[in-house]
Chains A and B, each alone.
Chain A
Amino acid sequence: MNELLAQLAHCIEFGKVNKDAPYPPDMKGQDGADELTQQLLEAGHSASDILSQALIIGMEKIGVKFRDGQVFVPQVLMSAKAMEAAMNHLKPLFAEEGSARKGTFIIGTVEGDLHDIGKNLVAMMVEGNGYEVIDLGVDVSAETFIAEMEKHPGAAVGLSALLTTTMENMKNIVAKIKQAEPDRPVCIGGAPVNQEFCDQIGADSYNPDPQGVVEYLNRLAS
């Protein structure tokens, strides 16, 4: 792999945003995701190559480490921050290049629930893995999900809930989505949710961590 691409993947994995960023301490003073992305573009790499050969690789590595309990939420958020620095350069180019993302993912925390940290983590990981993410925020009704689905016909949908009381809302939203579009892929997650509940309510996938969602979407995209 090109050395610069490898360096960028490393910056994403370890959350090195730019040259001025003090974190991680052992990369102090080195170029970060911001500078390296700029250098790669100047060297003639396409936005989609940078995405697939550096950003996705770095985000996948941090996602696997998080799943395996080797890193914690702040490190994933720092990786996401580095990824965002790179994406700021790439996003305007995606449209120009006509390069398609791997797919679109609509995500939200279900009606009645205001927790968003888990949902944000999933959104960042999915975006970093090459998908367009439509984040509907928290306290999202079935009607809002369905309205967004109509705008994005091929998109998968992700629902998050942190309370046992809002699992009931999750069940109702999945039922309404499936009534509107039986084949629309729906995945669920959140602390009180498990595979048994997923099977009960007719969702298509349950994942206990963000990397699981990415792998589910990759299977759909392949």
Chain B
Amino acid sequence: MNLTQYQFGLNDFDLELADIASLMGYPADQLPTEIADLMAQEQQLFPCNPEILGGYRLLPCELDLDDHTIQLEQSIFSPGRRNFSYYKRAEQIAVFACSAGHYIAKRSKQLMAQGLLLEGYVVDVMGSCLVEQAMNQIQHRLQQDLASQGLKITNRYSPGYCSWNIAEQRALFDLLPDKFCGIELTESCLMMPIKSISGLIGVGSRVRFREHSCEQCNSTTCIYRQTKSHT
């Protein structure tokens, strides 16, 4: 299996207030001070090794331009017409998964169970931010590694977003080793730990990366819609 895996420590990230603000919906400089204080307090409590893991498997792909489907080994994906258009010149696909680990999920639940909903929410958003930053780093390294071979990458897209049926998460994880990066799927295709992401990145000499693609999607409830840093 052509697998690449990374493990991150907290020092690998720079949790900017502006990123947290953006995920919560605020303009970058308008995060309430209480939130910034809570964030700083919680960061002090994080374990040294929070088990933030991520990685990908590179696979050759077969694309059906009529059905807008992608075949990877025995699995066929229907990412939706719009997502497919980004992959349609791909020669390979990087199947990725990344998790912020169990600590964040447990801490957020613990705070909420104590009735500390605001604190729990702040930790939850910090988890979203960490897992996205970890995946940004993995994607950046993938991009650099492939550039020497004259290859480029697309943005990353995930089941559950932009009309892509979340149930295809199961087929995605069938292509990865069991409990890859510590992630398990529930019956309803929810990833555990809950602050985990997965999806496909197109690879090829004729694919292209878009700076920001949310305007192409018609979801009005996605938390990433208002963030400009999402890749």
A→B interface (CB under 8 Å): 22-25, 72-75, 77-78, 80-81, 84, 112-117, 120, 124, 163-166, 169, 191-192
| Interface hits, B123-172 → A, CB 8 Å | 124, 160, 165-167
Known contacts A74-B118, A124-B117: A24-B188 contact under CB 8 Å: no
Q: Are B160 and A77 in contact (CB under 8 A)?
A: no
Q: Does B34 contact A (CB under 8 A)?
A: yes
Q: Are B32 and A163 in contact (CB under 8 A)?
A: no
**The one of A74, A116, A165 that contacts B32, using a Cβ cutoff of 8 Å:** A74
Main SS of the interface on chain A?
helix
Q: Find chain A residues with CB under 8 A from B160 CB.
A: 163-164
A169 CB to nearest chain B CB (Å): 7
| Interface hits, B49-102 → A, CB 8 Å | none
Measured in the bound complex, the distance between the Cα atoms of B27 and A72 in whole Å is 11
Q: Does B114 contact A (CB under 8 A)?
A: no
Measured in the bound complex, the distance between the Cα atoms of B222 and A221 in whole Å is 33
Q: Are B188 and A165 in contact (CB under 8 A)?
A: yes
Q: Does B35 contact A (CB under 8 A)?
A: yes
Q: Does B183 contact A (CB under 8 A)?
A: no
B117 CB to nearest chain A CB (Å): 5
Q: Find chain B residues with CB under 8 A from A84 CB.
A: 115
Q: Find chain B residues with CB under 8 A from A115 CB.
A: 194
Q: Are B112 and A23 in contact (CB under 8 A)?
A: no
Q: Are B165 and A164 in contact (CB under 8 A)?
A: yes
Q: Find chain B residues with CB under 8 A from A112 CB.
A: 186-188, 190
Q: Are A78 and B118 in contact (CB under 8 A)?
A: yes
